[in-house]
Amino acid sequence: MKPAPFDYVRASSVEEAVAALAASNGDAKVLAGGQSLVPMLNFRVVDAPLFVDINGIEGLDLIEEKEDGGLRIGALTRHFALETSVSVRDRFPVLHEAMKHVAHLAIRNRGTIGGSLSHADPAAELPMMAVLLDAKIVAAGPDGEREIPAGDFFTAPLTTVLAPDEIVVAVDLPGLPAVTGWGFEEFAQRRGDFAVAGVAALVTREGGTVTNTRIALMGLHDTPVRARSAEAAFGESGIEAAAVAARQDADPMNDLHGSADYRRHLAEALTRRVLTAALERAAQ
Partner 1 sequence: MSPPDDIDLTRPQFIGAKVMRREDPRLLAGEGNYVADIKRHGMLHIAFRRSDHAHALITNVDVSAAQAMEGVVAVYTGADITRLANPYQATSRMKNYQATFIPPLAVDKVRYVGEAVVAVVAISRYVAEDALALVELEYESLAVLVDPEEALKPDAPKLHDDLESNILAAREFARGEVAEAFADAAATAGGRFHFTRTTPVTIEARASVAEYDKGTRTLTLHCTTQIPGIVRDKLSEIFDLPGPRIRVIAPDVGGGFGGKTSLYSEEIVACAIARDLGKPVKWVSDRMEDLMTTGNAFDEIVDAEIAVAEDGRILGVKADVIGDVGAYSIYPWTATIEPVQVVSFLPGPYRIANYAARVRAVATNKTLTGAYRGVGRPISVFVMDRLLDMAARKIGMDPAEIRRRNLVNDDEFPYKAASGLVWDKSAFQACLREAADGIGYDELRREQAAARADGRWVGIGVACYAELTGVGSRIAVAPGMPINTGTETCNVAIDSTGAVTASFGLASQGQGMETTLAQVVAEELGVKVEDVDIVLGDTASVSHGTGTYASRGAVFGGGAGILAAKAVHEKIVRVAGHLLEAAVEDIETGNGDVRVKGTDKSMTIRDLARALYSDMGRVPKDMRDEIDNLEATKVYDPFFGTTTSASHMCLIEVDPETYKVEIKRYIVVEDCGRVINPLIADGQAHGGVAQGIGVALMEEVIHDKTGQVLTASLVDYVVPSAVEIPSIDVVHVEAELPGTVGGFRGLGEGGTIGAPACIANAISDALSPLGIEIMEIPATPERLFRLVEAAKAD
Which among 77-85, 137-145, 150-158, 185-193 is the span making contact with partner 1, rule CB under 8 A? 185-193
Q: Which of 8, 180, 169, 27 is nearest to 94 (CA)?
A: 180
Instruction: Kindly identify the residues of this chain, within the stretch 154-193, that bind ligand FAD according to CB under 6 A.
Output: 162, 167-168, 192-193
Is there a contact between 92 and 75 (Cβ–Cβ < 8 Å)?
Answer: no
Q: Is 41 in the site for ligand FAD (CB under 6 A)?
A: no
Among 144, 178, 189, 209, binds partner 1 (CB under 8 A): 189
Cα–Cα dist 246/251, whole Å:
10
Q: Which of 211, 192, 194, 189 is nearest to 202 (CA)?
A: 211
Among 266, 274, 277, 282, binds partner 1 (CB under 8 A): 266
Q: Where are the beta strands (DSSP E) in 130-166?
A: 136-141, 144-149, 154-156, 159-160
Among 24, 85, 116, 223, binds ligand FAD (CB under 6 A): 116
Amino acid occupying residue 84: T
Q: Which is nearer to partner 1, 154 or 187 (CB)?
A: 187
Q: List the single partner that 75 binds among ligand FAD, partner 1, none, CB under 5 to 8 Å by kind.
A: ligand FAD
Exposed/middle/buried for residue 269 (C-beta within 10 Å: 0-12, 13-18, 19+): middle
Q: Which of 113, 123, 223 is nearest to 172 (CA)?
A: 113
Binding site for ligand FAD (CB under 6 A): 29-37, 39, 54, 75, 102-103, 107, 110-112, 114-116, 118-119, 124-126, 162, 167-168, 192-194
Binding site for partner 1 (CB under 8 A): 1-5, 43-44, 187, 189-194, 196, 256-259, 261-262, 265-266, 269-270, 272-273
